[in-house]
Amino acid sequence: MAEEKLRLLAVHAHPDDEASKGSATVARYVREGVDVLIATCTGGERGSILNPAMDRPEVIANLSGVRHQEMENAIEILGAHHAWLGFVDSGLPEGDPLPPLPEGCFALEPMEIAAEPLVRLVRTFKPHVMTTYDENGGYPHPDHVMCHKVSVEAFDASADPDRYPGCGEPWQPLKLYYHMTFHRPRFQALHDAMVSAGLESPYAERLEQWENVEDHFKRVTTQVPCADYFEVRDQALIAHATQVDPSSFWFACPLEIQKQAWPTEDYELARSFVDAPTPEDDLFAGVRDRLAVSR
């Protein structure tokens, strides 16, 4: 009997999120033969242009189309598959008080409508592992928070034949993870390594902001070694030219220092149907054993 291929479904809110969160992990698993599908909830239509070089009238006039093309470029670099879930970007509300979210946006969709395309995707692709954001969305963008909600809903509902009828045969993913790479110990390690190398660190201000804030590192259960794929991660980021300035904060720390100082991407195991004692160094810990027994 042929060995069943491992499958990973990474759920993200906007084009470019897949490159900034977990992309080195994706690149590693793709090159190890894992079947990886990235699902993007919205088209990023309301995103700001964060790269001055792309702040041009023709880009602004066709931002949705440009971001779709950027996504295609990033997916090709990562080597994964991709699916759009088809919702409209909610935008990041700013001001005091915050303005209402625009009608028809992703964050305002009823749960049964917002989660249905993802449930259908889970039942079709049949992932063993899913990744998404924590309950705060990683940061409190309304689409990121909604991405968390629909991912948990799909993970919990996809195996129940009475829920979301007509969306395919039931399937239960075995593990659900939250991205946890943006935490103080990682940035402290990068800061210290740059200072030790005689370089000016850009992380001091961010570290100060963490002084009185609960840090997510204590929630980390799983650290995936993927330093060999940091270059691929950066190429995928740069593919999102409207969102990522090649001279920005993302690239302030030299790759060789990053590889030495913090060679992992980090996760919290939020749900599991397999025996997988933590801490782990593999999103498929326990899954591999389960599949081997079932053959």
Alpha carbon 101 to its chain centroid, in Å, reads 23
- Amino acid in position 225: P
The CA-to-CA distance between both ends of the chain, in Å, stands at 7
Beta strands in 103-247 (DSSP E): 129-132, 175-179, 222-225
Tally of structural domains, the chain? 1
Q: Is residue 95 one of the residues assigned to a domain?
A: yes
Q: E strand or H helix at 230, and its extent?
A: helix 230-239
Give the sign of the dihedral formed by CA 232, CA 237, CA 241, CA 244: negative
Q: Is residue 116 one of the residues assigned to a domain?
A: yes
pLDDT in tens, 90-111: 999 888 788 899 999 999 999 9
DSSP-based three-state secondary structure for 178: strand
pLDDT in tens, 44-83: 998 888 889 999 999 888 888 999 999 999 999 999 999 9
Q: Is residue 261 one of the residues assigned to a domain?
A: no
Say yes or no to pLDDT of 1 above 50. no
What is the reported pLDDT for 221?
A: 97
Q: Is residue 129 one of the residues assigned to a domain?
A: yes
Joined together, the tokens standing for residue 38 give 């990235």
What is the reported pLDDT for 35?
A: 98
Give the sign of the dihedral formed by CA 239, CA 243, CA 247, CA 253: negative
The Cα–Cα gap between 157 and 160 comes to 5
CB 40 within 8 A of CB 85: yes
Mean pLDDT of 217-232: 97
Q: Is residue 192 one of the residues assigned to a domain?
A: no
Give the sign of the dihedral formed by CA 145, CA 148, CA 149, CA 151: positive
Say yes or no to pLDDT of 2 above 70. no
Q: Is residue 251 one of the residues assigned to a domain?
A: yes
**What does pLDDT average to over the chain?**
94
The Cα–Cα gap between 124 and 120 comes to 6
pTM attached to this predicted model: 0.95
Q: Is residue 285 one of the residues assigned to a domain?
A: yes
Mean pLDDT of 270-275: 96
Say yes or no to pLDDT of 210 above 90. no
Q: Is 286 left (phi over 0), alpha (psi -120 to 50) or beta?
A: left
Looking at residue 63, what DSSP letter applies?
A: H
Q: Is residue 114 one of the residues assigned to a domain?
A: yes
Mean pLDDT of 233-246: 95
Residue 36 belongs to domain spanning: 7-182+216-255+268-294
The CATH number of whichever domain residue 38 belongs to comes to 3.40.50.10320
